[in-house]
Amino acid sequence: MQNQLHQLKEEALLAIKAAKDKVDLEELENKFLGRKNGELTNLMKGLKDLEVEARKIAGQLANDVKNMIEAALNEKKGELSSGEWAMELEKERVDVTAPALPAVERGHLHPITQVLEEMNGVARAMGFIVEDGPDLDSDYYCFEALNIPTTHPARDSQDTFYIKNHPQWCMRPHVSNMQVRLMQKYGAPLRIAYPGRVFRNEATDASHEHTFYQYESLVVDKDMNIGHLIGIIKELLRGLYQTDVEVRLRPGFFPFVEPGFEMDMKCLICGGKGCGACKHSGWVETLGCGLIHPRVVEIAGFDPKVWHGLAFGMGLTRLAMQKYGIHDIRLLMGGDLRFLKQF
Amino acid sequence: MYISYNWLKQYINLPDSIKADEVARNLTMSTVEVESVHHKGKHLENIVVGKVLLVEKHPNADKLKVCEVDVGTDKLKIVCGGSNVREGMLCAVAKLGAKVKWHGEGESIEMKEAEIRGVKSYGMICASTEIGLGEMFPLKEEKEILDLSAMKLAVGKPLAEALSLNEVVLEIDNKSMTNRPDLWGHYGMAREVAAVFKKDLKNYEVKDVSAGSTVKIKVKVEDEKLCPRYMAVVIEGIKIEPSPAWLAQKIHAIGLRPINNIVDITNYIMYDLGEPMHAFDAARLKGIRSKDKGVNILVKRAKDGEKFRTLDGAEHQLDSSMLVIANDEKSVALAGIMGGEESEISNDTTTIIFEAANFDAATIRKASVKLGLRTDSSARFEKALDPNLCEQALAKAVELTLQLCTGAKVASKVVDDKKFHLYQGPIELPWEFLYKKIGVQIDKKEVLAILERLGFELKEKKDCLVVTIPTWRATKDISIPEDLVEEVARIYGYNNIPVQLPVFPITPPIANSQRILEWKLRDIFSQGLGYSEVYNYSFVSGKQIKNLGDDAGLYLELDNPISDERPYLRRHIVGGLIENVVQNIERFPTVKLFEIGKKFTVEAAGPRARFNGDELLPQQGNWLIAIYADKKDANPYWQMRQAAQLVADNLNLELKYQPKKKLMPWQHPTRSAELVYKDKVIGLASEITPQIAKNFGLSVRAGILGINIDQLVETGALNVSPNYQIISAFPEVMRDLAFVVKKSVTHDEIVWALHNIDHLLKKVELFDVYEGATIGDEYKSMAYRFTFSHTERTLKSEEVDKAMEKVRQVIEKLGGEVRV
């Protein structure tokens, strides 16, 4: 009996291994384990004729053989079905190179917005408040409070838009109108940035706009010198460009700072060797800056002997044009989706 | 402005080791921006004066000669086709490496050893046109080479040097010296160069004028504020001639054309000292009275409406804000700007009046701007010149005139009408202040040397310097210690100052709610809703206002718009966006745009015009306006409603929507909802009325969404947290109910009627609306889903049935008929 069981086991396992499909397997299951005529079932019918002790051993063995055959059948079933799955899934193949349809279009942020937000991010991280202010402002905040006398050319209607029937109102020609406003609002010490839209009375062409954007910042504290000015601006530029920048300071004149400077940055494209982007000079004019004029500090309500300030401003529109290589400034205010969708 | 390097060197001893480019660079870093350095003789490099020693026939060409030419260092064999080449002549020889233009045409090419018809040639004997000197030496014949024999030039000398053409000119950016009246002449610029290079500046030498007495000249200045100084002198025996070479060359170098000796002298002085001068023809002026030989000069305001012809031939209409120079009869010059045509120096001039004056900067600038007449003279006066310059300028002009016109003599005394005061300080400059502002301790001796070279007079006191401002810096340029800090620091070198970082507390910056909200909205619209951001002008056209059906009378207007195209300040942002849709809809089937910007409302209160002042500027409200148009969407309202809801959901706001009653002409009367948050209207979802769209040429329906950013900030919308609820462990029960109701019954009414009717009812959601003939024109079918739940137990069916019965009763009260 035991020999017969061993033989049956060997035979069954071999047959199962050789099975080709589910039909084969079902036949084999029937052949060996079938309830009525299965070979193992038939063998086990002979158990009752055995001695008690022998029946126990043979019964145990028969049970083991049954389990082994069942396990082999299950394993084989799994093998066969995964092959069938593969065939099934093959029929579901998609062209992964094709775009999803219908296309979902994303929206686009204006290029100036994008550069503005980069600047804001750096400024905030350096502890600057970021503020907004009026586009239409008084002659007082635009000029008088900034130590710009009535005879200064910037006050000409050639350069500044004035408002009809309100001779003391104008469209701000620079965001510097915010300097005294913000010093009055927040007091000292102060670190603040105030980007915004500015207006100049000039005819538009590919490189001139009457409406453009500036980014200006100021710091008021008890100890502020030229070395600090360079240091702060260098850090800001480093934050913006994520690389060390080399700068140089030259004299520049703005009535609301003394001394005033122009700051050039070593061209990041050619590294200072000279290229088209820097007009072959190796340097790019980047911003105007200076120590805040004591008269402006005083007008803002502080003692210029105690409080010292510095301010620096750059053209945001120009920065965006440089960054993306935009050749015509008019596109920025033009509303053409063919342009806007590129950003 | 052009600065001639040679001219500059008249006033400072600069060693040859210092080159013009270095001077330009250092001026840029310390004084003014030098835009470029022009090496005028550079194209003549490797071209020298040569002497033709031998001329022989070319063995293989009839028209060519083989010459031996002495070029000083060497004797060269050169093949030449010049028709006038002869032995013994002086010529221009392009040696190997020189740049020439063949026959004066095309690109410059470099001279190389060549073989011409079998004969080697080591250079070229040049025609004037081949080396860019065609204007100076015009060709008389096509194949003629430049014959320099008459000029007795040294053989071998570089041609540029031999002809004095090796001028180096610095081009200064005028905008960079608007604050420096003293730099508008070579002498002032030389002072800067001397300071930068630590060299001594030579004195400006002038001879005293010995007065004449034949003519009596009188000057009367009407308003000395407008003309602080007026000097004049009469010179007779003038002979108008071309200027001598040295003067003509200087005039050329600064970019002007030589005209005649007298005019050139005035221009020379303007570029030498920076003081504009004028010369009148005394005879043409009819100023000198024959009986007593007297001349009266009057400096006065022009008459309103007065007509005046300037020497450029243009006629101007003057007004009383402008200053003129007049004789007894009429105006003869626009003060400080340009002389009159009538008294212009001509070839017959024999007696002149020289004027050296000082005029009020603002008056000159205003007149110049008003007349559209900007001259070298007005550009200088409007910077506020030192009145002391008049003296030097007039004396120098007389000196040069007597030198150039041998028969000339001074015919009058020098009149000098002056009344001015300059603030020359002294200013106290504490050492500590200086160091604190610059950020580095500069050696005291160096500070003294810098200021002294710039012309400041210094006295040392304990702890500070006492500084007297030189007159040429005292007109408006320098008046406070900070100005002196700049003087020291720029000459010391800004880039020698060590870079420092200040120490700041780590306090985080105050957050600006408006900017944060704007950024969130940008994110929602661009990333969440697929809108593209657009920037439109703050200025709008009258046509746009008319298209919007609005009243231009309500708008603020520019006093000086660039053109009549966009004279108004926008009161509404939507107009620009409708125009953007029109511009794009033909190319894109769907247009989704938004703009965040300011609109100007004159009648509403805005920021203060002054600190603590009463005057208020117009309100400049910050709004987001989004517009949507799709050729296939005839009811774009729902897109806007959806966008509004997404904004509300993103900000955790519970918005109410109510029909807008007071409508602007472009707001669809039956498709406009006000967005209400905490009882404040914070925006609008709407459709553009088709008639208004048509005005703009738009035939597609367009939806608009407006969000009042300022209002939203004010309601505290930025700080609303999500309303978190414990998730119930017990199942929710949902029941649907559809009913027919009159169209006039709104969703809002239904929801509010169901509000709080049963504590188990948690949610009321509309999921379908149907309108159609089967249910009648006045009716609509609405289907709602009701959600019931209890946090502590599972609901029984009967409980829900009971609650639904309440719902049914409410619906029936509203006139609804439940569909089964």
**Chain B: closest CA distance from residue A80 (Å):** 43
Name, in order, each residue with C-beta under 8 angstroms of B324's C-beta and a sequence gap of 6 or more.
B299, B300, B301, B302, B306, B308, B318, B331, B332, B333, B334, B335
Q: How confident is the model at residue B40 (pLDDT cuts 50, 70, 90)?
A: confident
Whether pLDDT at A154 is above 80: no
CA distance A332 to chain B (A): 7
Tell me which residue in A105, A131, A248 faces B512 most closely, judged by beta carbons: A131
B536 neighbourhood in chain A, CB within 8 Å = 333, 335
Q: What percent of chain A has pLDDT over 70?
A: 100
Residues 169-198 of A with CB under 8 A from B: 169, 171, 180-181, 184, 186, 189, 191, 197
C-alpha–C-alpha distance, residues A311 and A298, integer Å: 15
pLDDT at res. B742: 94
Q: Which residues pair with B704 in a beta bridge?
A: B627, B686
Q: Which of A215-219, B103-107, B236-240, B552-556 has the lowest mean pLDDT?
A: B103-107
State the maximum Cα–Cα separation within chain B, in Å, rounded to a whole number.
132
When pLDDT is averaged across residues B111-131 and rounded to a whole number, the result is 91
Contact A291 B482 (CB under 8 A): yes
Whether B315 and chain A come into contact, CB under 8 Å, resolves to: no
pLDDT band with cut points at 50, 70 and 90 for residue A76: confident
Give the mean pLDDT of B389-400.
Answer: 97
Amino acid residing at B476: K
> How far B336 CA sits from the closest chain A CA (Å)?
17
Q: Which residues of A touch B557 (CB under 8 A)?
A: 163-165
pLDDT score of B257: 87
C-beta separation of B126 from B146 below 8 A: yes
A window 22-41, beta carbon within 8 A of B: none
Confidence at residue B286, expressed as pLDDT on a 0 to 100 scale: 65
Residue A127: pLDDT above 90? Answer: yes
% of chain B surpassing 70 pLDDT: 100
Cα B628 to Cα B638: distance, rounded to the nearest angstrom:
11
Q: Does B619 touch chain A (CB under 8 A)?
A: no
Q: What count of other Cβ atoms lies within 10 Å of the Cβ of residue A30? A: 14
For chain B, the average pLDDT equals 93
Which amino acid is located at A139 in the chain?
D
Question: B493-504 pLDDT, tens per residue?
Answer: 999 999 999 999
Kindly list the residues from chain B whose CB atom is less than 8 angstroms away from the CB atom of residue A166: 556
How far apart are the C-alpha atoms of B219 and B772, rounded to whole Å?
Answer: 98
Closest partner residue to B486 (CB to CB) among A224, A258, A301 is A258
The amino acid at residue B123 is: G
CB-based contact, A339 to chain B, within 8 Å: no
Shortest alpha-carbon distance between residue B31 and chain A (Å): 6
pLDDT band at B90 (very low <50, low <70, confident <90, very high): very high
CB–CB of B530 and A106 under 8 A? Answer: yes
Provide the chain B residues 366-405 that lie in CB contact (below 8 A) with chain A. Answer: 369
**Coil, strand, or helix at residue B689?**
coil
- DSSP category for residue B310: B
pLDDT in tens, B164-204: 788 899 999 998 998 999 999 999 999 999 999 999 999 99
CB contact B564 to A (< 8 Å): no
How close is the nearest chain B Cα to the Cα of A138, in Å? Answer: 5
- Percentage of chain A lying above the pLDDT 90 cut: 64
Tens of pLDDT, residues B765-807? 999 999 988 888 899 999 999 999 998 899 999 999 999 999 9
Nearest to A109 among B369, B512, B526 (CB): B526
Res A26: pLDDT: 87
Q: Which residue of B has its CA nearest to A260?
A: B486
Nearest residue of A to residue B531, measured between CA atoms? A107
Confidence check: pLDDT of A1 > 90: no
B730 near A CB under 8 A: no
Return the higher-pLDDT residue of B107 and B307: B307
**In this complex, do B437 and A225 lie within 8 Å of one another by their Cβ atoms?**
yes
Contact yes or no for A228 and B502 at CB 8 A: yes
Contact A297/B at CB under 8 A: no
Q: What are φ and ψ of residue A315, in 5° steps?
A: -80, 115
Average pLDDT rounded to a whole number, residues A303-316? 95
pLDDT at B287: 64
pLDDT band at B24 (very low <50, low <70, confident <90, very high): very high
Give the residue from B635, B726, B640, B633 showing the smallest Cα distance to B675: B640
Backbone angles phi, psi at B313, to 5 degrees: 90, -5
Q: Which of B437, B530, B569 sits opposite A107 (nearest CB)?
A: B530
When pLDDT is averaged across residues A228-232 and rounded to a whole number, the result is: 96
Q: Quick check: A262 contacting B, CB < 8 Å?
A: yes
Contacts of B37 in chain A (CB under 8 A): none
Contact B675, B626 (CB under 8 A): no
Averaged pLDDT of chain A: 92
Of A157, A211, A225, the CB nearest to B538: A211
- Most confidently modeled range among A145-159, B5-19, B104-118: B5-19
Does B745 reach chain A within 8 Å, measured CB to CB?
Answer: no
* Confidence at A40, pLDDT banded by 50, 70, 90: confident
Respond yes or no on whether ipTM tops 0.90.
Answer: no
Distance from CA of B397 to the nearest CA of A (A): 31
Mean pLDDT of A195-217: 94
pLDDT score recorded for residue B423: 95
Closest CA in chain A for residue B490: A251
- Whether the CB-CB separation of A151 and B362 falls below 8 Å is answered with yes
Backbone φ and ψ of B553, nearest 5°: -65, -20
Residue B439 and residue A226: Cβ atoms within 8 Å? yes
Q: Are B41 and B162 in contact (CB under 8 A)?
A: no
| Alpha-carbon dihedral angle through residues B338, B344, B349, B354, given to the nearest 10 degrees | -20
The C-alpha atoms of residue A290 and residue A218 are separated, in whole angstroms, by 10
Chain B's closest residue to A308, CA to CA, is B437
SS3 assignment, position B605: strand
Sort out which chain B residues have CB atoms less than 8 A from A140's CB and list them: 609-610
Asked if the C-beta of B361 comes within 8 angstroms of chain A's C-beta atoms, the answer is yes
Inspect the interface and report whether the beta carbons of B580 and A335 lie closer than 8 Å.
Answer: yes
What's the CA gap between B304 and B310, in Å, rounded? 17
Cβ B556–A157 below 8 Å, yes or no?
Answer: no
The greatest distance separating any two alpha carbons of chain A, rounded to the nearest whole angstrom, comes to 130
Q: What is the mean pLDDT of residues B360-381?
A: 94
Q: Chain A contact for B111, CB < 8 A?
A: no
Using alpha carbons only, how large is chain B's radius of gyration in Å? 42
* CA–CA separation, A46 and A48 (whole Å): 6
User: What is the pLDDT, as a whole number, of residue B649?
Assistant: 95
Contact list in B for residue A288 (CB cut-off 8 A) is none
User: Does any CB of chain A come closer than 8 Å to the CB of residue B531?
Assistant: yes
Q: Is B136's pLDDT higher than 80?
A: no
